[in-house]
Amino acid sequence: MIQLPLRRRSAAALAFVALFALPIAQSAFAQQDVPPATPQPAEAPDPNAMPSFPAPEAADFTANAPSKEVILGFLKATWGYDPNRLYQVQRITKTAVDGVSSVVVLVGEKGNKQAGALQFFAMPDGKHIITAGEMLPFGDNPYAEARTALLAKANGPSRGGAGKDLELVEFADFQCPHCKEAQATVEKILADFPKAHFVYQSFPLVKIHPQASRSAAYGACVAKLGGDKAFFDYAAAVYDGQAGLSSDEGATLTLNSAVTKAGQDPAKVEACSKTPEAKAAIDADIKLAGDLNVTQTPFLFVNGRGIPLGGVPYDTLKLMITWHQNNDGAAK
């Protein structure tokens, strides 16, 4: 996964995001104020085993916000796709910073007696939490704001269903090798969710990929001149020939070949790619990525929920998409 350097979201925070989509591991959630589990002899897995959560203590609920109900709503929106995941709000306490609360949630899974602990800090605005020094969306509908922004501004080439009740938006870079690998996953998603509305947003990581911006501008012009199908034909050809983007001369040959395979005129596309309009289109894509705190490619939004594409096993990703498809309601 390619990550843009010197941006707001750190690798630790991205790991936290991915953590919401992965099985619980005791070590992943260990907190300094939660006693470690006593080592136990290895035993055969028991599918009927359940984690044992200690009863919460009234003294550990000193903050007025967020409420237990809001936290449970957030956890349901985040973990609802996994029927085996169990959790309990254990602590909501004041901190030394006015309006900031410390929250501890105990987490476990059916079939596993062990439990872990997740801690985060809830901000006074009620819309964000901080963990690993980074800010993430929060609330009983934590992905609504990003969903609204994407519905309004994610205007890249699209395919799939016309309706936007399930909208998938991928931010990708044509020179990113992980983006090339992820295209097979995208095809699998669209086969499994034929009604999904899929949008491709270019996010060239120009600091590490010198041909990314040029490739994106060519793509924008192919879409302008030939439509969405031509764009996706172009995209597939660029990814197939991605090795050719390693030099200026190779990029020219690769991009022109991709344009031709998309049924467009390389000379017209090249001229279009150098116009202020083409630059403005790519700049708008980059700004949208920045507004949504996207710092790596490939990155997928599922109805506003950001997921590092390739950072989650496909079976889990499919469960997550199904959950949002069934629970997010109509697009507004």
Query: Is the same domain home to 111 and 192?
Result: no
In this structure, is residue 222 part of a structural domain?
Answer: yes
Domain boundary among 121, 141, 161: 141
Using pLDDT thresholds of 50, 70 and 90, give the confidence band for residue 42.
low
Radius of gyration for the chain, computed over Cα atoms and rounded to the nearest angstrom: 22
Rounded to whole angstroms, how far apart are CA atoms 1 and 233? 23
Tokens of 32: 């300094």
In angstroms, the CA 242 to CA 254 distance is 8
- The C-alpha atoms of residue 231 and residue 220 are separated, in whole angstroms, by 8
pLDDT tens-digit profile of 180-218? 999 999 999 999 999 999 999 999 999 999 999 999 999
Q: Is residue 315 part of a domain?
A: yes
Distance CA 218, CA 224 (A): 10
| pTM of structure | 0.86
- Residue 55 CB neighbours (<10 A): 6
pLDDT at 227 over 70: yes
pLDDT of 28 > 90? The answer is no
**Residue entry with tokens 């929920």:** 305
The answer to the question of residue 18 being in a domain is: yes
Question: Are residues 179 and 304 located together in one domain of the fold?
Answer: yes
Looking at the fold, whether 282 and 157 belong to one and the same domain comes out as: yes
What is the spatial order of strands in the sheet that 85-94 belongs to? 85-94, 101-109, 115-122, 128-131, 134-137
Write the CA distances from 125 to 195, 230, 317, integer angstroms: 35, 44, 30
| 332 domain-assigned | no
Domain end among 106, 141, 176 = 141
User: How far apart (Å, rounded) are the C-alpha atoms in residues 221 and 259?
Assistant: 10
- Are residues 136 and 175 located together in one domain of the fold? no
Question: Both 304 and 192 in a single domain?
Answer: yes
Looking at the 3D structure of the chain, how many domains does it have?
2
Angstrom distance (rounded) from CA 198 to CA 238: 19
- Residues 112, 154 within the same domain: no
The CB density around residue 302, as the number of other CB atoms within 10 Å, is 24
pLDDT tens-digit readout, 232-291? 999 999 999 999 999 999 999 999 999 999 999 999 999 999 999 999 999 999 999 999
Give the CATH number, domain containing residue 179. Answer: 3.40.30.10
Q: Identify whether residues 131 and 165 lie together within a single domain.
A: no
In which band, very low, low, confident or very high, does the pLDDT at 39 lie, cut at 50, 70 and 90? low
Domain membership of residue 33 as a residue range? 2-141
Residue recorded with tokens 């200690």: 54
Q: Are 64 and 306 in contact (CB under 8 A)?
A: no
Q: Are residues 318 and 298 in the same domain?
A: yes
Tell me whether residue 54 is exposed, middle or buried, using C-beta atoms within 10 angstroms of its C-beta: 0 to 12, 13 to 18, 19 or more. exposed
Residues with Cβ within 8 Å of 2's Cβ and at least 6 positions away in sequence, in order, are: 173, 176, 177, 178, 179, 205, 208, 209, 296, 297
| Average pLDDT over all residues of the chain | 88
Q: Do 157 and 251 lie in a common domain?
A: yes
Tens-digit pLDDT profile for residues 316-327: 999 999 999 999
What integer is the mean pLDDT of 30-41?
44
The token pair at 97 is 């910073």
Do 57 and 35 reside in the same domain of the chain? yes
pLDDT of residue 21 exceeding 70, the answer is no
Distance from chain centroid for Cα 204: 17
Domain finish residue from 112, 141, 170: 141
Name the more confident of 51 and 138.
138
Whether residue 130 lies inside any domain: the answer is yes
Are 89 and 70 spatial neighbours (Cβ–Cβ below 8 Å)?
no
Q: Is 279 inside any structural domain?
A: yes
Judgement on whether residues 134 and 180 belong to the same structural domain of the protein: no
Residue with tokens 């499994």: 192
Residues in the chain: 332
Do 165 and 133 share a domain, yes or no?
A: no
